Structure 1
Amino acid sequence: METIKSFKRLTIVKIALGILFALVVLPSNMKAIAILLFGVAVLINSLQRKWHFDKRFFITNGLLYVAIAVTYFYSDNQEYGQRKLLQMASLIVFPFVFAMLTKAESKEIFKNLTTYLWIYVIGVFLFNVISFLWFFGMHYSFPEMMEHFGTILRVKMGKFNIHPIYLSMHCSIAILFSFYILRELRSKVKIATILGIDITLVLFLLLYAKKGPLIALIIVFSLFVVFQRKQKLLKPYLIAITTLIFLTIVIPKTRDRFVELLKIENLDKGEITSTNIRYTIYDTAQKLIVASPLTGYGIGDYNDVLQEKYTQDGNLLLAERKYNAHNQYFSLLLIGGVISLIIFLCTTGMNLVYAIRFNNQLLILLLVFYAIVMFTENILEREAGIIFFAFFLNFFSLKSLYTSEEN
């Protein structure tokens, strides 16, 4: 009887997890509710059996949030600091919730991994396709969609608004997940379906023309092929990479983004391009980091200090548009100095070491993907980035945890 009750409780947790993998298709006001439902489901499950809480798991994955929260106490702009800590709460919520799951429960949950991956892949596919078809059919011509779809996603989607950089990340991660779905498929119809989804997502990636996610996808795709150790994958890999590079070259919008890398200059000397904007931001951020390397400026003040520096240096464009550091590593240095950066590198490094040791391939590739994208984006400070980073990190690190306990 107790086994049946336990199975029913865990079923609710599994359903709540499935909803989290579908977060990308939920409006912004529903995402917090979905996370709350998952937390409540895990808590109820935990209270109806012998209490379990993995302190090591919680500390490893939650320590970064604690380190950032400490910087609040030496921040002057406490209102901004409170808002940012609330946005970053996923960094502490997910480690706390997942730490309540036992080894047996984690193993049982991972039996549904393929289903969860399917949910995410289909969700990302539908979000891209339906959004495009809706605005194309109701409001804009095809040339207008090709030129302005990224802006439409950012300002015309209401509670579904999303910056194209984050949707590019979703497309890349969905393609990564599809690799592992393909390994399990035997049905030709399903294989054709997942390949069709991948081709569509690649086309959207090229439409968004975001360099970071594209480069990161190529690297993790290459690592995936290496991990499989199958020579028969070499030919499809080379065809896919060659086709992607060819499309990147022939599509003007995407090509121009990469051509920017050939001439990187400060904004006061060069053109206003995304690459030059980032170069100027990094130059400004480095000066501030050198001025306060150990403890940074605090979660409340780091952005104010950056905006003031833009103005002092005469970079009025950056000040008017209120650009953040556009580099997660620089941003952590601005928030909490080398202390916060070291804690971040240690916690992610520990997860990476365990993932390598226990052949947790998906976590390895996700960590590599995020590590690359973080060189050009502050994904831990925007809801669209932090929720999924924290969720994926804690979910996939469960596999490393229960495997290590078994060994």
Structure 2
Amino acid sequence: MIKAIVKDYHSILRKSEQYILLALFFTIPLSPKLTTVLIIVYSLVSLLTFERKYFRNIWFRKPVFLLILVYFILVIGLSYSSDITSGFSKVQTQLSLLIFPLFLGGKNFLREQKEHYLLSFILGVVLTSLLCFGNSFYRYFETGDNYVLDEFSRRISIFFYVEFSAFLDLHPTYFSIYIGLSLFYLLSYYHNDRKYGLIIKWTSIAFLFVTFIFTSSKAGIFSFLIASCAYFIYSLIRKPNKYTISLLGTLILGATFMFFINPLLYQRSVQLVNSFDKVWMKQEQTNESSSIRFGLWKLSIQVSKNTPFYGYGTGSVVRTLNENCIDLFSFSNCEGLRNKNSHNQYLNFLVSNGFLVLIPFLLALFLGLVRAFKNKDQVFFFFIVFMGLNFLFESILQRERGAVFFCAFFILFLVCQNSQKNTEYV
């Protein structure tokens, strides 16, 4: 009798995990606070259903184990950090590097479950997009003007870039990453044979593509175009078909269309090219986002040469760059680089904890890529390439929105099985 009750209780908890995860993926683009609550709830439920075999699965899934190792290195890095307060904050922000590998990395999911979680996430992205457009139109009808002044008294549109999603505390870079993954999944993989399924799919794609343009994120948009076009070209080489050709053509036309309807994106792209020439070729520094980013890369590379193996300690990146900037740039140029991280995840790891943390992180990405290739999981393959490119332009894991998104999907793809053999519903 008692065994039956315990078994039923255990079964209920395991079924509840699935619904908690669905809600968790849905809230990732909407609300970090709500996502955090759901992560805590999921962790508690997982503890009650934890089985010994999960440890074995984690050990044999090397990328999962490597992410846990990365987190522990970050914790150890607190011992020699010059900024303990910031270090503790970063360890807390990047807790997803430990939570998802521990409580999700030892389980096995069916392919259908992965699709459910992806669709739940996409619904969250669509709702977030609707809220952003709704907020912008509300502000427009309330004030009668679609421009506001920023801190430098520059006129910026409430429909583009930072102002478009600022009310959700959602930076355009993260928003564009969410949309990029959603678009690729809908374009390359998702099929719906239900009535009006095709209409719903392409309406969602068109709406998300328009939202993508309005984010005006150079890193997210260019990374998506590079990763998706490379994938579709590779698919054409392996197996030419009309659908892939049409998708590739649509992406090229869509990319061209972006620059016609979004002058801000065109302007920021031109600034990107000019900034590269000034910073790397002419050794000049200007107070513009791309120029600042390139300057931070140069500064991070120079600083990391002093302690390449173990870095300056977790959370010490901003302070270290501030203290060493004057050695590379003039005082006036350093003012534009102050109080910023490396704006490159790889360099950020290199400055904070050196090759000690960068090597296992890169190895986790590489082994994940191998796993995706072996399993012929094109969405997982795209995800790693897409995120790998974005890591070049932004320190994605330094904010909770980026850390949760990356860890949740990276582990989800790793634990998904292509066949129904040796799988379990969670």
TM-score range, shorter chain: 0.7 to 0.9
The answer as to whether partners of 1:21 and 1:116 remain within 8 angstroms in 2 is: yes
Q: Structure 2: how far apart are the matches of 1:311 and 1:42?
A: 50
Distance 1:241 1:26, change over 3 A: closer
Q: What's 2:322 paired with?
A: 307
Find the counterpart in structure 2 of residue 206 from structure 1. Answer: 213
1:1-400 matches, within 5 Å, as 7-46=11-50, 52-53=54-55, 54-56=57-59, 57=61, 58-101=64-107, 103=108, 106-107=109-110, 110-138=111-139, 139-141=142-144, 143-144=146-147, 147-149=157-159, 150-152=161-163, 155=166, 157=167, 160-180=168-188, 182=190, 184-187=191-194, 189-225=196-232, 226-227=234-235, 229-250=239-260, 251-263=262-274, 264=276, 265-266=278-279, 269=284, 271-311=286-326, 313=329, 314=331, 315-320=333-338, 322-399=339-416
- Aligned residue pairs, count: 394
Read off the aligned partner of 1:231 and give its amino acid letter.
N
Decide whether aligned partners of structure 1 residues 339 and 147 sit closer, same or farther in structure 2, where only a CA change above 3 A counts: same
Residue 55 of structure 1 and its aligned partner are, at CA, apart by 3.7
Q: 1:24 is aligned with what amino acid?
A: I
1:162: Cα distance to partner?
1.2
Q: Distance in 2 between matches of 1:338 and 1:51?
A: 32
TM superposition shift of 1:46: 2.5
Measured in 1, the distance between the counterparts of 2:406 and 2:29 equals: 16
Q: Supply the distance in 1 between the matched residues of 2:163 and 2:24 (Cα, whole angstroms).
A: 25
Measure how far apart 1:311 and its partner are: 4.9
Shift of 1:31: 1.8
Look up the SS of the partner of 1:116 in the other structure.
helix
3-state SS, counterpart of residue 22 of structure 1: helix
> Could you tell me which amino acid in structure 1 is paired with residue 96 of structure 2?
S
Offset at 1:161? 1.0
Instruction: Answer whether contact 1:296 1:302 (CA < 8 A) is retained.
Output: no
8 Å contact from structure 1 (residues 84, 381) kept in 2:
yes
1:88-143 per-position Cα deviation (integer Å, ceiling 9, x unaligned): 11001110101442x4xx23xx4333322221112101111222212312445574
Q: What secondary structure is seen at the aligned counterpart in 1 of 2:157? A: helix
Structure 2 spans left out of the alignment, 5+ residues: 149-155
Runs (5+) with no aligned partner, structure 1? none
User: Do 2:285 and 2:292's aligned partners in 1 also have CA atoms closer than 8 Å?
Assistant: no
Asked whether the 8 Å contact 2:295–2:337 carries over to 1, the reply is no
Whether the 8 Å contact between 1:153 and 1:162 is mirrored in structure 2 is no
Instruction: Indicate the percent of aligned positions where both proteins have the same amino acid.
Output: 20
| Larger helix share, 1 or 2 | 1
Query: How far does residue 154 in structure 1 lie from its aligned partner after superposition?
Result: 6.0
**167-176 vs 193-202, greater mean Cα deviation:** 193-202
SS at match of 1:46: coil
Aligned residues of 2:136 and 2:164 also touching (Cα < 8 A): no
What secondary structure is seen at the aligned counterpart in 2 of 1:375?
Answer: helix
Answer yes or no: is the 8 Å Cα contact 1:43–1:100 preserved in 2: no
Letter of the 1:297 counterpart:
Y
Determine if contact 2:114/2:416 at 8 Å carries over to the other structure: no
Find the aligned partners of 2:41 and 2:289 in 1 and give their Cα distance: 39
Distance 1:254 1:401, change over 3 A: same
| Contact preservation (8 Å) 2:313, 2:353 | yes
What TM-score results when the alignment is normalised by the length of structure 1?
Answer: 0.87
DSSP-derived class of the 2:28 partner: helix
Displacement of 1:76: 2.6
Distance (Å, rounded) in 2 between the aligned partners of 1:385 and 1:180: 24
When residues 352 and 362 of structure 1 are mapped into structure 2, their CA distance, relative to the original with a 3 A threshold, is same
Whether the 8 Å contact between 1:281 and 1:325 is mirrored in structure 2 is yes
Instruction: Evaluate the alpha carbon distance shift between residue 402 and residue 181 of structure 1 in structure 2; reply closer, same or farther with a 3 A threshold.
Output: closer
1:39 deviates by: 1.4
- SS in structure 1 of the partner of residue 315 of structure 2: coil
Deviations 1:343-393 (A, max 9, x none): 111121112112212222222111111000011000011111111101111
Bigger mean CA deviation after superposition, 298-307 or 368-377: 298-307
- Residue range with higher mean Cα deviation, 372-381 or 55-64: 55-64
Which stretch shows the higher mean deviation, 301-310 or 393-402? 393-402
Partner Cα separation in structure 1 for residue 8 and residue 386 of structure 2: 40
Alpha-carbon distance change, 369 to 25 in structure 1, aligned in 2, over 3 angstroms: closer
CA contact (8 A) 2:30 2:125 kept: no
Deviation at 1:248, TM superposition (A): 2.9
Other structure's SS at 1:324 match: coil
Kindly provide the CA deviation profile for residues 143-179 of structure 1, in whole angstroms up to 9, marking residues without a partner as x.
4387234333565x2xx31111111111111112223
Partner of 2:153: none
Q: Distance in 2 between matches of 1:404 and 1:296?
A: 44
3-state SS of paired residue (1:294): coil
Q: Larger RCO: Structure 1 or Structure 2 (Cα < 8 Å, ≥ 6 residues apart)? A: 2
Moved more, 225-234 or 29-38: 225-234
1:245, distance to aligned residue in structure 2 (A)? 2.5
